[in-house]
């Protein structure tokens, strides 16, 4: 696989996901480590689907490899995949065309730059969000900072406690936009609905440092404890989480060249919409 300068390539904007980076992700989704992870994640989602029918949204679905497994396992359910890459959605459509002949409940895809608050008011029973990898240029963050000022202030507070200077700014951007994505996930879920969230991680929650635990809760929307003079709005309740060692962590290493991400795995968290 060819090497990509992700910093340079992604600086060109979201269109990179329809070119080099998009194809890189298509290739990644086909490797053994991702195939094993997708099978495991799909089994978690199936256990959440207590009813015979409902709506499952795969947010940032990419090539739809998890959806493909779920369509077979949950024949009565309707599926909507949302992603910002036309390249990856074309790959998803390739398998979906054949599946639609036997799956009358519906399999649809929508191309949108995420987070996207203009999505029609659908309310899912389950939303799946795996391996976040979203590009958000500064021009795209500004409207959200005006819209979610409390989140902005809390993200700055947490970032400045941990880092200084440019690193604090970069951490703020990560914390804030992750929080905005979680708000988008909540908007697409009915009250009481479930979010199966899968994050790259280097250990179980209790093994993480204090700041990493705190920032994880903030980003996913399950933090309620007051930070200095600010109290975050809690819109998800954390039900369970489970850590799995996996070579998928090398996705992060490939993009950042950070040697810490040569080992680790992923964390599957089950969150309930409040």
Give pLDDT tens digits for 112-126: 988 998 866 789 999
Q: Is the peptide bond before 161 cis (omega within 30 degrees of 0)?
A: no
pLDDT of residue 28: 86
Percent of the chain with pLDDT over 70: 92
Q: Is 110 helix (H, G, I), strand (E, B) or coil?
A: strand
Q: Provide the Cα torsion 14, 19, 22, 25; round to 10°.
A: -140
Residue 17: pLDDT band with limits 50, 70, 90? confident
Q: How far apart are the first and last CA of the chain?
A: 43
- Give Cα 43 distance to the centre of its chain: 18
Question: What secondary structure does DSSP assign to 162-183, as a single string?
Answer: H--HHHHHHHHHHHHHHHHHHH
Give pLDDT tens digits for 181-232: 999 999 999 999 999 999 999 999 999 899 999 999 999 999 999 998 899 9
| Residues 173, 183: Cα–Cα separation, whole Å | 15
Give pLDDT tens digits for 235-268: 999 999 999 999 999 988 888 888 988 999 999 9
Spatial CB neighbours of 54, under 8 Å, sequence gap ≥ 6: 77, 78, 124, 125, 126
Apex 25 CA angle, 19 and 28, nearest 5: 145
Domain boundaries, the chain: 6-138+178-220+241-273
Assigned architecture for domain 6-138+178-220+241-273: 3-Layer(aba) Sandwich (3.40)
pLDDT of residue 1: 46
- Give Cα 127 distance to the centre of its chain: 10
The secondary structure element, H or E, covering residue 252 is helix 250-256
């Amino acid at each position: 696989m060819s090497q990509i300068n992700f910093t340079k390539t992604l600086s060109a904007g979201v269109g990179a996901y329809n070119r080099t980076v998009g194809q890189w992700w298509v290739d990644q989704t086909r490797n053994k480590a991702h195939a094993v992870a997708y099978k495991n994640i799909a089994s978690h989602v199936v256990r959440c689907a207590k009813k015979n029918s409902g709506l499952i949204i795969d947010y940032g679905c990419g090539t739809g490899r998890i959806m493909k497994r779920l369509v077979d396992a949950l024949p009565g359910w309707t599926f909507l995949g949302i992603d910002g890459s036309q390249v990856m959605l074309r790959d998803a459509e390739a398998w979906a065309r054949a599946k639609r002949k036997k799956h009358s409940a519906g399999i649809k895809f929508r191309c949108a730059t995420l987070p996207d608050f203009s999505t029609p008011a659908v309310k899912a029973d389950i939303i799946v969000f795996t391996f976040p990898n979203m590009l958000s240029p500064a021009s795209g963050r500004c409207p959200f900072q005006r819209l979610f000022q409390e989140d902005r202030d809390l993200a700055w507070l947490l970032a400045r406690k941990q880092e200084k200077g440019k690193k604090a700014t970069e951490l703020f951007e990560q914390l804030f936009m992750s929080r905005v994505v979680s708000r988008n996930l909540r908007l697409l879920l009915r009250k009481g609905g479930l979010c199966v969230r899968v994050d790259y991680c280097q250990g179980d929650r209790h093994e993480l440092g204090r700041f990493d635990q705190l920032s994880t809760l903030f980003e996913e929307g399950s933090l309620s404890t007051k930070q200095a003079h600010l109290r975050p709005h809690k819109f998800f309740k954390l039900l369970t989480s489970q850590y799995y060692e996996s070579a998928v962590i090398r996705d992060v290493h490939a993009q950042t060249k950070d040697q810490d991400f040569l080992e680790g795995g992923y964390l599957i968290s089950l969150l309930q919409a409040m």
